[in-house]
Structure 1
């Protein structure tokens, strides 16, 4: 590992006494300009929680009995069996194998569905059948056409015929589909420099750099910014890439409750007062790591309050805008734009191009010193092949549309359409009596279903009726919080939203999942336009 980076985040000057001068970051006038913050997290009904636990208990008991009967040859093996190859260790361990056999594999047709078209507002899904209880699949030959409410195509730029297609095709013919080298090994083309400069201008930072993979943007760069002797304070619901990057860094990690500013401040205070738990010396750096929009909860980070605490306790801030860049804010510049805060109050602005831009890869924006340091030391910069030129061109084209530099108002219209779609869709679901999580402006809309059988049943039922959705359950969520996750897009019009809502309403009645105890007056103010 490298020594303390001289050109990344400067060491924080904490004192062992813990006395830090408080700083009033935002004036009262500025605070009044922030959007009203409405988020909903209705508690799981007690009866449904009990039934959910009973469902998993029943699964374990019945599965264990069947395993025992099969061991003695008294029962037919109807679950998939992992092939036993001589000289090879099993792929799955005992409990993992048990859960995979009796839960995941039995409903695998609800996950990893192969698409047969572009990921636009409407897509085609290939129907699959399994001859061996979910171990392998064959195609039935039937394509199911459905409304796409499962892709991260927030601004609709991943449609089958996107507005940037001609320019991307031209760059493909001129520069090919691969670069064949990293940025430090003759892989940095003029189009990459153009993208980096345009991205920095879009974000409002001194500099920016792009990476070919979004996951690696987090996991490979966090270890460059903090090392042993530093402290990372991470939101408990942060993405796996942030968690992996934090663990690879060698820094100490503390987790605060999701979006809980009191808990975050409590951890910051303790970190300042007590210092490193072994040496009792001050931390070299304290890095707060949060996301803009949380993709499982649909919640938005309380960014102004996080910045307030960051400045008050002389810490640093790493903001992952994977699901918020392009999708939030009047100009589509993410959660920073949404709250109208200064982007330079955030030390590291990270995001991905896989959602709103209809492309691939990620970026990091910040000061020139930080970006220059990452260019020299980031593993993603040294070892990974540079982003393909056609992908870079797609991002450049989308950026210019969002920024209005294409001479049209198309970007502004798409951003406004996504905001309207998000609020309309959420309000209608709540009026149906469904439990919905998250912020009113989040394009990610989780709907709680709870019971595992109803999660898979819902997924199959709506697909047959022409609606494609993503369902998520344990262990990706807590046992009592299995859900359907809708992703809104600017490509959805009111007609497609209403059709989806009709399918959801009828399916929710069929499966009896309208658990909400809220009344219309409880959330009426939430959907009043600003």
Structure 2
């Protein structure tokens, strides 16, 4: 693990201290496993890779059936489309674990759901249904942070009415016949919810990043991207044509070094000043469970006259006293963030995403974004679902249900994380992050773990390469306000048993509490 990842932590501004100094305290959940664990993990991967090459040799000569796509004979020497390591990893390792998570959900994906039971006769390349359904599985893998992915006839009444009035789809882009009054109502509500001037919504969260970042920056611009940013951010940055430089995760010294070099040296060769410098970060990092160091990044972006783009896909609705994301979590001014992006696919139990900020930026995006010109608008029933959830969080429905769910999520998150620490499991992330990765390292262990948990009617998600470093395979729990204490206790109990059986309790209970002192110029001093 890189040293920069020691900084997956919580930021909390504590005010002035010692005259012109002020301090922030960070609570971290990061710990390296004993040396023998990565050694055994790499040794295991070495064996798997060896047998993978043997199996590829057998496939080449027809001794074993090849299920993967492959080049035609005349292309093999010129267009090796399917020969990179990720494809090798997929067909020889990943497919052996596919049955652990590729199961169809056949019910509402709430705190409990139903799964179809499937079997495979060819090592998970194809599946067949048994006709059986596994009932009432505890859902520990979805992003249903506030529990709004539910089938409540009373609360969905307004969605039903909008469906009857408008129909199920728009069948047009917003620049043709897709700009409906429900869409405008949603955008106005999003802007009000985030305390910004304007917002634009898109029909797909991934495309919100990949199609709008190229509109904001281009050739002659510089993007500074956190090394753990989501694929949608990476794709958008690459499509923009801007120069991309990656800084270590949540490492403010490394970010400032890149900013200083960019300002001093300018563009390569021609040495002209960059047209724009855009810092791109996430609110909560979905594979690490860490929270961005937003106060320090805002200070750096002001100091070096850069722009800031914050992806709040996993943090909007999930953190902050009233669920308004990391900006509220740190008590920052939304105007200090140039572009706020988020999705409705998680806390809001719907689909789509938004871009929010100053009115001139949003108006520019509306007139230039590919998502506005080529993607269908969000259907009115979907917009109504988002509106009703957002109004519930804001208390506009006349109840305290939304605030209670925000509070319950925070309580469940802290309770579950503390229980896992007591089990001596190595977990990552911030103590307020509902994304809770538990490190298991070896692929064989995560496969055995998830299959056992399903037998106990607990559905979990395993994450490995290429989404994580190859030696840091993990189980990722996502906490929801809909989880009861009894559900979480059952999960913890099974974790305790399997932790002993699989020998994954490697924690030495190292928890990093680090106080950082800054002077007025944001130079980090010894605490």
Determine if the TM-score, normalized by the shorter chain, exceeds 0.5.
yes
- Determine the C-alpha separation between the residues in 2 that align with 1:198 and 1:173: 22
Separation in structure 2 between the aligned mates of residue 190 and residue 147 of structure 1, nearest angstrom:
38
Residue 395 of structure 1 and its aligned partner are, at CA, apart by 0.4
Q: In structure 2, what is the Cα distance between the partners aligned to 1:332 and 1:150? A: 20
Instruction: Tell me by how many angstroms 1:35 deviates.
Output: 8.7
1:28 maps to which residue?
16
* Deviation per residue, 1:406-456 (Å, 9 max, x gap): 111111100000000111100100100000000000000000000110011
Which residue is 1:52 aligned to?
41
**Take 2:364 and 2:143, find their aligned partners in 1: how far apart are those partners?**
31
Residue in 2 that maps onto 1:304:
295
Task: Summarize the Cα distance change of 1:254–1:85 in structure 2 as closer, same or farther, 3 Å threshold.
Answer: closer
Per the alignment, residue 103 of structure 1 pairs with 93
Q: How many Å separate the matches in 2 of 1:298 and 1:372?
A: 33
Q: Deviations over 1:86-127 (max 9, x none)?
A: 999897336555433321222210133211111100111112
Q: Report if the CA contact (8 A) 2:159-2:381 is conserved.
A: yes
Range with greater deviation from structure 2 (139-148 or 244-253): 139-148
Equivalent position SS for 2:26: coil
> Which sits farther off after the overlay, 81-90 or 35-44?
81-90
The change in CA–CA distance for 1:230 and 1:84 in structure 2 (over 3 A counts) is closer
**Alpha carbons of structure 1 residues 129 and 33: separation in structure 2 relative to 1, 3 Å:** farther
- The yes-or-no answer on 1:247 pairing with 2:238 is yes
Tell me the CA shift for residue 45 of structure 1.
Answer: 2.1
1:447-462 equivalences under 5 Å are: 447-462=438-453
In the other structure, the counterpart of 1:512 is: 503
Alignment partners' CA distance in 1, 2:304 and 2:514? 35
**Contact (CA 8 Å) 2:252, 2:296: kept in 1 or not?**
yes
- Report if aligned partners of 2:14, 2:23 keep a CA contact under 8 Å in 1: no
Question: Does the 8 A contact of 1:35 with 1:339 survive in 2?
Answer: no
- Residue 267 of structure 2 aligns to a residue whose secondary structure is coil
Q: Which deviates more from structure 2 when the two are superposed, residues 498-507 or residues 283-292?
A: 498-507
Q: Secondary structure at the match of 2:441?
A: coil
Cα distance change on mapping 1:319 and 1:443 into 2, 3 Å: same
Match of 1:490 in 2: 481
Would you identify which runs of 4 or more consecutive aligned residues in structure 1 move more than 6 Å?
31-35, 83-91, 523-526
Structure 2's unaligned 5+ residue stretches are 1-12, 516-527
Of residues 116, 122, 125 in structure 1, which corresponds to 2:112?
Answer: 122
Match of 2:471, SS state, is: helix
| Aligned equivalents of 2:236, 2:153: Cα separation in 1 | 34
Match of 1:329 in 2: 320
Residues 325, 332 of structure 1: 8 Å contact kept: yes
**Separation in 1 of the partners of 2:413 and 2:210?**
30
Q: Check 1:233–1:243 CA distance in 2 against 1; reply closer, same or farther (3 A cut).
A: same
Classify 1:233/1:95 alpha carbon distance in 2 versus 1 (closer, same or farther; 3 Å): closer
Task: After TM superposition, give the deviation of residue 44 of structure 1 in Å.
Answer: 3.0
Q: CA deviation at 1:36?
A: 5.2
Equivalence for 1:437: 428
**Residues in 1 aligned to 2:152 and 2:474: alpha-carbon distance in whole angstroms:** 32
Give the one of 331, 347, 357 matched to 2:338.
347
Q: 2:8 is matched with which residue?
A: none
Q: How does 1:461-476 map to 2 (within 5 A)?
A: 461-476=452-467
CA RMSD in angstroms, aligned pairs only: 2.5
Give the aligned partner of residue 402 of structure 2.
411
What is the CA–CA distance in structure 1 between the aligned matches of 2:68 and 2:368, rounded to whole Å?
45
2: CA distance, partners of 1:344 / 1:436: 34
User: Which residue is 1:398 aligned to?
Assistant: 389
Please give the per-residue CA displacement for 1:6-35, whole angstroms capped at 9, x wherever unaligned: xxxxxxxxxxxxxxxxxxx99638x99999
In the TM superposition, residue 482 of structure 1 has moved relative to its aligned partner by 0.6
In structure 2, do the counterparts of structure 1 residues 381 and 81 end up closer, same or farther at CA, with 3 Å as the change threshold? Answer: closer
Q: Which of the two has greater strand per residue?
A: 2
Aligned to 1:479, what secondary structure does the other structure show? coil
Find out whether 1:259 has 2:246 as its counterpart: no
Task: State the SS of the aligned residue for 1:220.
Answer: helix
Quote the residue 1:8 is aligned against.
none
Residue by residue over 1:23-66, the C-alpha shift from the partner in whole angstroms, topping out at 9 and shown as x without a partner, is xx99638x999995322111132100000100110011223234
1:171 matched to 2:162? yes
Correspondence for 2:64: 77
- C-alpha deviation, 1:394, in angstroms: 0.3
How far residue 134 of structure 1 moved from its aligned partner, in angstroms, is 2.1
Matched, 1:152 2:143: yes
1:357-401 per-position Cα deviation (integer Å, ceiling 9, x unaligned) = 000000011111001101100110111110011100000000100
Identify if the C-alpha distance between structure 1 residues 408 and 185 changes in structure 2 by more than 3 Å, giving closer, same or farther: same
2-side partners of 1:184 and 1:511: how far apart? 56
Cα gap change, 1:187 to 1:49, in 2 (>3 Å)? same
